[in-house]
Amino acid sequence: MCTTVSELNSSFFERNSSTLTEEAESSLKENADILSQCTNLTARVEGFAAPGERNPETLLEDHAESVAGFYEANGVPAERIQTSGEGQVEGVTSKKGGALQYRRVDSLPERENGDM
């Protein structure tokens, strides 16, 4: 399994919040289990914020840190997690709740030797 992991679940946040929802924790638990089993993988945790959120630069970093903290609390060593705030996602959506896709953290698996 560890040689075939090419993606991990994303996690989504409520507006102006960096608190993990139950749904996000469920998705992240699956990721943490994979990362715990596959010691050859590290995770690059990239936080994003939606247009119009308060303090998006701070919020996207907080998103990434929330996910990294969850991984650490679930047995993934901190040295195997790299966080980054990627920025505020540009765009407009007219769908109710459509901005949810922008309020997210992507966890990107990387092999220890860098080939992914």
Handedness of CA 20, 23, 26, 29 (dihedral sign): negative
Which strands make up the sheet holding 41-49, listed edge to edge?
Answer: 11-12, 104-111, 41-49, 81-88
**Higher pLDDT pick, 100 / 35:** 35
Mapped onto helix, strand or coil, the DSSP state of residue 19 is coil
* CATH code at 11-111: 3.30.1330.60
Average pLDDT over residues 91-96: 52
Are 74 and 32 contacting, i.e. CB atoms less than 8 angstroms apart? yes
* Mean pLDDT, rounded, of the chain: 87
Q: Report residue 112's pLDDT band, with 50, 70 and 90 as the boundaries.
A: confident
**Higher pLDDT pick, 114 / 30:** 30
Mapped onto helix, strand or coil, the DSSP state of residue 84 is strand
Contacts of 71 (CB under 8 A, 6+ apart): 28, 31, 32, 35, 43, 45, 81
- The pTM of this model reads 0.86
Tell how far CA 12 is from the center of its chain: 8
Query: What was the pLDDT predicted at 111?
Result: 86
Query: What was the pLDDT predicted at 116?
Result: 42
Domains in the chain: boundaries: 11-111
Instruction: Dump pLDDT digits (tens) for 3-58.
Output: 888 999 999 999 999 999 999 999 999 999 999 999 999 999 999 888 888 888 89
